[in-house]
Structure 1
Amino acid sequence: MKGIHMATENEKEDLLLLDKQLCFPLYACARKIVAAYHPFLKALGLTYTQYVTMMVIWEKKEISVHELGDILYLDSGTLTPVLKKLESFGYIERHRSTIDERVVEARLTEKGQAFKEEVSKVPEQMRCYLSERNLNFTPDEITAFKGELYKMLDHLV
């Protein structure tokens, strides 16, 4: 086995140290970020998952549930209750595709479009929240960081 380094017992144990894990800071940061959004979204009656779902629907106006799940990295078991709730609020309508009745689509309603104005304050609220904690990122830093995260997501799908 020339050229292959066999891990020692200490090295194997080191691999199980929390501070050696990439997954943990990503997990903890995601939880903290979602928690930071909570008060801003709660005031609007939204969960974080409903918020990101509406972001996609505002952009697309109409989208298949399958495509929406792909964009949000959510399975239908997670997405369906979110869409039902948004539909009960009157922000979206769900219907079967006229082209293929097996396909369910979500369509933005007028009420959902009007709601966008209220929700548009959230990104600035989060920017202020982060700034108060001395987390000021340049646009280039944000682009680079998101690029690395999306690179990971693309390879984990």
Structure 2
Amino acid sequence: MSQGVGLVRQKIALGEPLLVDLFGGTTSQILDAINVDCVAESGIKASVEDLGQIFPPGSVSEIVVSGPQSPFLEQAAMILKPGGRIYINATKGNPFGKVPDPTTRKNLGDTALVQLGLQVVQLKGQLEARFTHQTFRRTTGEVIRTRSVTTTILEKV
């Protein structure tokens, strides 16, 4: 993890935007992204709970979360810069891909997002074009068709 922290500090010092591929697997499928996954062979081998030790608060421009494997929103919101975005690519059956829906009062979604400093830009929309080249897999390894994956976009206010 220390090599990864050095890379992050170097990018910050150079003024480069930080793009994080959270749950990116062994190797990120996203160009120029810093892969963070507990199975990473390329990038930073770490868990979601380690994000605050790797990235300073408010330092990350974009976080891409494809097929999330555990709760991540609180940690991701902490490292995201104001105006930064979180792109969540998930199937409707993925319990960790669900975001509180601010349009329904019954789940108090708006309150949860406000507490994290996030607002919904897009809720379960069509998969963003820039992610259609990715291969999405179930935990069993089975490939998921991209038309089954939606993108939710959150922005830090």
TM-score relative to the length of structure 2: 0.23
Which is richer in strand?
A: 2
Which structure has the greater CA radius of gyration? 1
Which is richer in helix?
A: 1
TM-score relative to the length of structure 1: 0.23
